Amino acid sequence: MIFRTILAIAIALAAMVSLSRADEDRAGVISQTIDEVIVAGYSALQERAKDQERAISALCSAPSPALLETARAAFNETVRSWSRVEMFRFGPARTDYRFERMFYWPDRKGRGLQQVQAILAEKDETATSLETLQQKSVAVQGLTSLEFALFGTGSEELLEAGGYRCRYADAVAQAIHEVSGEFVSAWQSAGGHAALMRDPGGHNPLYKTEAEVLQALIQAAREQLEIVGDIKIKTAIGETPDDAHPKRAPFWRSGDTIASLRANIAGVQALFTGHLDLLLGDDPASIANGLAFELSQADAALASLEQLNRSWEDLVSDPETHGKLVYALIPLHGAKETVSERYPEALGLVLGFNSLDGD
Amino acid sequence: MRHGPDRRSVILGLAATGALPLTGFADTRQEAAFVSCCKMRDGHFAAAVLDVDAKLIFHENLDGRGHDSAISPDGAAAVVFARRPGRFALVLDLVRRQRQLAFSAPKDRHFQGHGFFSNDGRLLFATENDFGGERGVMGIYDVAADYRRVGEIDTGGIGPHEALLLSDGRTVAIANGGILTHPDFPRQKLNLDTMAPSLVYADLTSGDIVETVSLSPELHQLSIRHMAEDGRGRIWFGGQFEGARSETVPLAGWHERGRDIQLCGAADTVWQAMSNYIGSVAASADGRRIAMSSPRGNTVLIWDCASGRALEQRSIRDVCGLAPMSGAFLSSDGSGGLELDGAPLRAFDELSWDNHIAVLNRARRSG
């Protein structure tokens, strides 16, 4: 009897030890994920935004076709960096309209675009300095505005010395650089969002447990996969090429649609591979491999289209390439199911039916 | 469906909360009292009808995820609405315990998930999104003509959600959540920067808007979505805050006709427990208390209408549906549980209860 009691205590103690070990691992993995995926991702964006600001400023000081190409290439890079972290729509993204200031999309009825066009038509000088631009609509100071300035109708005006369009693009590039810096500091400053996620507990206004932190991250991935598949791709390509609306997808003007979708997928992959996947232990069901396979299938389909070097509108309207986009939706859907069901189950998270997607 | 795993704990739970075991309703047993949508374990969606003891009477499969239901004044029919941006509505015959007919919102409208019958039972009103026109409407359906759509009323705002027929029988209170959505971008919120929610009163006989109230500008991102009328005719609302989660704002308030909106006063810790999100609002049968649920915060909050103070805070995982039941509040959760004043009442292991519980008058009265 005594022996059984001692045994029971020993088992209980062992269980406690392994539990605290697991908790420590969770905390470590969460912390590392925040540093290596989120903060590093926004820091890279800040760097690209800085390069972009310089490139546009150089273009405006001495306009030339070569410098326009450099500026456009810097934009392409900024879009890729942004698309890697677009998925983190909570916390710092929801403060001061940062998300909308950076990426005003979807632009239903082209309202944001109309405001940008009005600014360019009126040559509104208050849109050419950072301070006064930031007081304007969120729709005229981010990536979609800069895309129109650099690639949209009339972008040849960028080659005019001292031209208005370049000065507007310059102010928008500064605004993008500034918001990307705000993202970095809102995440990593003392008391910032990273600190909140690293220190869950009763005292924490947002995260009571590590499970809640993991839920927030997994939810962000789930939502991003849904947006990539159901909103960005499906809404643009329709059921058939005849039924398609390619211009509903973001970044078709700059030719960055597929690159941005691939970066969205890569962002999700980075959150799991080498990071949250570490929490799955020996992963006998191979959830991690399953997700990696689905994401790589989707990415491969998109990569094969990107290699064709054809415009997004062209890819959507050609039945053969349209079919490939339809195909990409299948693994994206599978990946979303894995993230929304298998990961929470394996990690012991209860993603409540009502709390997951409310109304 | 299997009932609670432990009936004893159910009874003990009832005793502990002071609610009497449900006896003396033999005449009303197996008559419909509550209607709620749910998701079955195998992934399909359904609407379930429960009796006054919250036992399952029957359920019907739905074409997609449902939301709330409207109950006819005679208690003979329930209309289950699709969750936005769905377009289906299913009429349940609560007497014959089966589906009666299905109808749809027109092509250029979708349901927002809530609605009600006129007091004479002849018309059904449903909150809808006119997504092309970017405005909210209430569709009007002729019950006798197999729910043919006969007209609509402008709600005076974007994104109407819950609408309540008030006790005067002719005024409707409409929560315009303020969030612009379009079925091309399913469930994406398209105007968080400029959203302007409002609480609107419309006269059903004329279709005119008779009063509009809104929140102060700093709360323009508090989407007013769910409501209940208290015993004094005041409208209590619960909102969902679309700003940063790190901000703590009052999520609820009440409004008395002709006055300004009053925000509920509570400690920051109370609002933090609600996680910027109130999913459902219900009044007690006597109209003296209001319950509000937060599935994200796993909390039900009970307000005292007379003092405007928070009386009680209950912790229930993934709780959302609320309804008055025998002088108490029935709640439902995403694990299939039903609770009475926070104590476990029944467990339906094979389903998740969806956001709302519609209640028939007989269940309201049975307190």
Vertex A95: Cα angle to B186 and A355 (nearest 5) = 45
Residue B288 located in a structural domain: yes
Question: Which is more confidently placed, B188 or B218?
Answer: B218
- Asked whether residue A224 falls in the same domain as residue A337, the answer is yes
Note whether A137 and A115 are within 8 A (CB).
yes
pLDDT digits (tens, 9 = 90+) for B170-193: 999 999 999 999 988 877 888 988
Instruction: List, in sequence order, every residue forming a beta bridge with B89; answer none if it has no partner.
Output: B81, B103
Tokens of A182: 């705000």
The upper half-sphere exposure of residue B252, i.e. CA atoms within 13 Å in the direction of its Cβ, equals 37
Model ipTM value: 0.83
Q: Nearest Cα to B59, choosing from B351, B355, B337, B364? A: B351
A161 CA: distance to closest CA in chain B (Å): 35
Residues A186 and A326 in one domain: no
Which amino acid appears at position B299 of this protein?
Answer: T
Q: Which 3-state string (H, E, C) describes A189-253?
A: CCCCHHHHHHCCCCCCCCCCCHHHHHHHHHHHHHHHHHHHHHHHHHHHHCCCHHHCCHHHCCCCC
Domain assignment present for residue A195? The answer is no
Considering only CB atoms, which chain A residues are within 8 Å of B182? 108
Residue B291 located in a structural domain = yes
- Structural domain includes residue A14: no
CB contact under 8 A, A94 and B186: no
Q: Is A236 found in the same domain as A87?
A: no
**Closest CA in chain A for residue B298:** A355
Task: Please report the pLDDT score of residue B239 as a whole number.
Answer: 97
Interface of B with A in 323-342 (CB under 8 A): 333-335
Q: Could you read off the pLDDT tens digit of each residue along chain A, which spans 359 residues?
A: 454 545 444 444 444 444 444 556 899 999 999 999 999 999 999 999 999 999 999 999 999 999 999 999 999 999 999 999 999 999 999 999 999 999 999 998 899 999 999 999 999 999 999 999 999 999 999 999 999 999 999 999 999 999 999 999 999 999 999 999 999 999 999 999 999 999 999 899 889 899 999 999 999 999 999 999 999 999 999 999 999 999 999 999 999 999 999 999 999 999 999 999 999 988 877 999 999 999 999 999 999 999 999 999 999 999 999 999 999 999 999 999 999 989 999 998 876 888 877 89
Q: Which domain holds residue A301?
A: 210-356
Q: Which domain holds residue B12?
A: 7-18+33-365
What is the per-residue pLDDT for A145? Answer: 98
Give the SS3 label for residue B115. strand
Indicate whether A161 and A235 sit together in one domain: no
**Per-residue pLDDT band at B21 (split at 50, 70, 90):** very low
Cα A165 from Cα A153, distance rounded (Å): 11
pLDDT at B7 over 50: no
- Do A119 and A180 have their domain in common? yes
User: A2 to chain B nearest CA, in Å?
Assistant: 33
Which domain CATH number covers B241?
2.130.10.10
Kindly state whether residue A197 falls inside one of the protein's structural domains: no
What pLDDT score was predicted for residue B308?
A: 95
Shared domain check, A228 and A185: no
Number of domains chain A is built from: 2
pLDDT of residue A277: 96
Q: Are A104 and A221 members of one domain?
A: no
Claim to verify: residue A182 and residue A33 sit in the same structural domain: yes
Q: In what order do the strands lie in the sheet with B280-283?
A: B280-283, B289-294, B299-304, B309-315
The answer to whether residue A52 is domain-embedded is yes
- pLDDT in the model for residue A23: 59
Average pLDDT score over residue span B340-344: 97
Q: Does residue A23 lie in a domain region?
A: no
What's the whole-number mean pLDDT along residues B121-143? 97
- Reported as type and span, the H/E element at residue A157 is none
Is residue B28 in some structural domain? no
Whether residue B251 is contained in a domain is answered as yes
| Confidence at residue B365, expressed as pLDDT on a 0 to 100 scale | 59
For residues B2-22, average pLDDT: 35
pLDDT at A353: 87
Is residue A133 included in any domain, yes or no? yes
Question: Mind listing the pLDDT tens digit for each residue in B315-338?
Answer: 999 999 999 998 999 999 999 999
Q: Quick one: which H or E segment has residue B140?
A: strand B135-142
CA-CA distance, A292 to A272, in Å (whole number)?
9
State how many domains chain B has: 1
Q: Residue B327's closest CA among B365, B358, B292, B293?
A: B365
Q: How many interchain CB pairs under 8 A, A with B? A: 96
Residue B100 lies in a domain: yes
C-alpha distance from B72 to closest chain A C-alpha (Å): 24
In percent, the amount of chain B with pLDDT more than 70 equals 91
Residue B22 has pLDDT above 80, yes or no: no
Across the interface, which of A94, A205, A235 has its CB nearest the CB of B185? A235
For residue A350, the model assigns a pLDDT of: 72
Give the domain-ending residue among A190, A221, A236. A190
Span B114-136, mean pLDDT? Answer: 97
Residues A127 and A236 in one domain: no
> Do A236 and A182 sit in the same domain of this protein?
no
Average pLDDT for residues B249-273, to the nearest whole number? 96
Q: Is the pLDDT of residue B196 over 90?
A: yes
Q: Are residues A334 and A214 in the same domain?
A: yes
Q: Is A15 a member of any domain?
A: no
Six-digit token pair at A229?
């598949």
Note whether residue B1 is domain-resident. no
The answer to whether B185 contacts A355, with C-beta atoms less than 8 Å apart, is: no
First-to-final CA distance of chain A: 56
A61 and A168 co-located in one domain: yes
CB–CB of A106 and B295 under 8 A? no
Q: Which residue in chain B is spatially nearest to A244 when comparing CA positions? A: B184
Beta bridge partners of residue B266, listed in sequence order: none
With contact defined as beta carbons under 8 Å apart, do A52 and A176 qualify?
Answer: yes
Domain assignment present for residue B23? The answer is no
User: Alpha helix (H) ranges present in chain B?
Assistant: 7-17, 268-273, 361-365
What gap in Å lies between CA B281 and CA B274, rounded to an integer?
Answer: 13
- Residue A1 placed within a domain: no
Quick check: A358 and B185 CB within 8 A? no
Of the candidates A142, A158, A190, which is a domain's last residue? A190
CA dihedral (A294, A297, A301, A304) positive or negative: positive
Contact B100, B109 (CB under 8 A): no
- Residue B24 covered by a domain: no
